[in-house]
Structure 1
Amino acid sequence: MFCVLLGAVLLGASGCGGSTTPVEPPVIEDYIPTGEVTLEFVIDEDTTKSYVVDNVAEGSTLEALMGNLSAPKMEIGGEGTTAFVNSIEGVSTNATHGWTYTVDGEFATKGIGTMELNPPTTIVWKYTTFEEAMAEKE
């Protein structure tokens, strides 16, 4: 009697020694693909620093990624739609020069707080004038 009662509770009344219906594994609908992001910082004509970040979640913003880097040294002002790179490796934005970036060779049209990443991807930062950045865009 105990065996039948226990079997009814655990196996849905299939009895002791009976077979069980296979259980399907749960579907993970919140799976977010990840990949590698390469960041290159062209500090000046002679200095380029490259970093590779693994396991970057698709849809992460460039602001979030850069905010979590321990190197190079960066200062980012604002957040979200107002996020702005003030300096990289001590090279600060001023009245004539600033930091611009490309994503996989294409000039960025969004700020870092709204630029969603789709790894694998390469981001190249350059310290340049607005005119130089626009000339490279063409």
Structure 2
Amino acid sequence: SQNLIGPFLFSQQIWHLIYHRLSHTIAHYRNRWQIETAFRDAKQNFGFDKYQVKSRKSINRFVQLSFVAASLTKLIFTTHSQTERVKVEDVCQQLGIHWYRPAKLTLGLCVAFLRLRIAQTLFSVSSKQKTNSQNITQVFRQINGTHSDKAT
């Protein structure tokens, strides 16, 4: 019987379970981590945890709107062409963050960057009145050194 071999076989079985499930476990937690960071970003940047409504229907709507806002913010940073794409280094530099060098833009960095640039655009005396989409496009062009004033 396999039990007669004793601890050696048992430890091999445990190692087999650990080893073969390790890659599955890592993949699972990588996906889970993305969910956790999405909730954290929704709480910190989109008011997900600051709702003041009481009905279940209203809370559900508020949560959905928070995630729509997060998705739209992410979309702003992923739909521009390569020539207009904002670089992580430029965002960190503009925000005055010299100690953090992520591989890609996080949602939190995107929100902070958009808030900074929108405030600069809205409160700048040299800013021309344009629509929001034109202002955002202008911000992307200014960041990358293409100072075209043509309307989009």
Same fold (TM over 0.5): no
Compare relative contact order (CA 8 Å, sep 6+) and give the higher one, 1 or 2: 1
* Bigger strand fraction: 1
TM-score, normalised via structure 2 length = 0.27
TM normalised by structure 1 equals: 0.28
